[in-house]
Amino acid sequence: MLRSVQMTEYAGPDGLNDMQELVRRTWSPASRLHLGDVAWERSVNARRSSADWRTAVWRDGEDVVAWGWLEQPGHLLMTVDPDRAELATTVVEWFRASANGPRLAAGVLETEKHLLAALESAGFGRDDSAPYFTHHWISLDGLAEPVVPDGLTLRHVRQDEVAKRGAVHRAAWSDLGPSKVTDNDMAQVMSTWPYRPELDWVVENEAGEFVASALIWLDEQHQVGLVEPVGCSPAYRRRGLGAAVNLAALHALREAGGTKAVVCPRGDDGYPQARALYQSIGFRPGSRTLHLLLG
Ligand SMILES: CC(C)(COP(=O)(O)OP(=O)(O)OC[C@H]1O[C@@H](n2cnc3c(N)ncnc32)[C@H](O)[C@@H]1OP(=O)(O)O)[C@@H](O)C(=O)NCCC(=O)NCCS
């Protein structure tokens, strides 16, 4: 069976379509990555860091059956068709041969047993002191109605509002140092499938500036939306805008055919505010990510 599998390596940003094809075909609630994770991570970071990326894709005939992505020289993300679990070992071998970093690391969801088994048999072990992320789930039945204070407006963005959309992202994500996301990065996000402006919601102030935002990516095949990312400008926080813009995007997701949504905030106590926001509107925790280190 393994003999018919062909591997292709990509340098730089190429390979996204193959990665998305596999994520979509094999997605289940046990998967670490949703179609939107791959779309967001590859598009928002492409111009800045794709020169360092290495991606390998394994294909059996027409089907993509496994991929590995070194999004940093020593860190692996991967997706392997659970029906072809033996390929997880092949991906880990490729990682060890291609990686270049002081200490090799990989991230999986605790439910991805086939990935975990391949990593553990190659000598990787859990690092329980590292930050981790917890999937949170919400059903789209019975969502609360979004409410914003007088003078502020909730709406979805238009495709040509790249600069304003980039500005609200940077405002929300500059607490720990200036966000590196440029308008060009945001243009890349907004032109990456399956981005849809009707699922990208904002709160607009009286001056026409965006002050909060929530983007949802819809996997139509599984009717599941991924919320990634959400933000509110520091001057407007704790006024219910993060909750409202999230709820508005979730209503739009339901109208677009979604039945449930997932979001993946930090699960450890090092950054509890995002988890608190999602739980305040009804998301409930599920599986967590694991960080594995070699040696
Ligand atoms: C997380 C973030 C989006 C919250 O936005 P916000 O508009 O201030 O959130 P809301 O006012 O709607 O808060 C709703 C609820 O979430 C919880 N919450 C929000 N911020 C919180 C914080 N800093 N600490 C604890 N709980 C918090 C509370 O339960 C809050 O209800 P309350 O104010 O009645 O107690 C905002 O702090 C932000 O942009 N942070 C940087 C980017 C980020 O971390 N995004 C989320 C990960 S994708």
pLDDT digits (tens, 9 = 90+) for 223-267: 999 999 999 999 999 999 999 999 999 999 999 999 999 999 999
Residue 3 has pLDDT above 80, yes or no: no
- Separation of alpha carbons 182 and 179, rounded Å: 8
Count of beta carbons in the 10 Å neighbourhood of residue 268: 15
Q: Is the CB of 171 under 6 A from ligand 1?
A: no
Which domains, from first to last, does the chain contain?
Answer: 2-126 (3.40.630.30), 136-287 (3.40.630.30)
Q: What is the per-residue pLDDT for 91?
A: 98
Q: Classify the C-alpha dihedral 124-33-278-162 as positive or negative.
A: positive
Q: What is the per-residue pLDDT for 256?
A: 98
- The values of phi and psi at residue 204, to 5°, are -110, 140
Residue with structure tokens 């998967």?
31
Radius of gyration of the chain (CA): 19
Residue 172 has pLDDT above 60, yes or no: yes
State in Å: Cα 277 to ligand 1 middle.
Answer: 5
> How far lies 60's CA from each of 81, 88, 129, in Å?
11, 14, 38
Q: Whose CA is nearest to atom 5 of ligand 1?
A: 242
Q: Whose CA is nearest to atom 1 of ligand 1?
A: 274
Q: Is the CB of 214 under 6 A from ligand 1?
A: no
Contact between 33 and 262 under an 8 Å Cβ cutoff? The reply is: no
Q: Is the CB of 281 under 6 A from ligand 1?
A: no
- Residue 268 DSSP one-character state: S
- Separation of alpha carbons 35 and 18, rounded Å: 11
- The values of phi and psi at residue 231, to 5°, are -160, 160
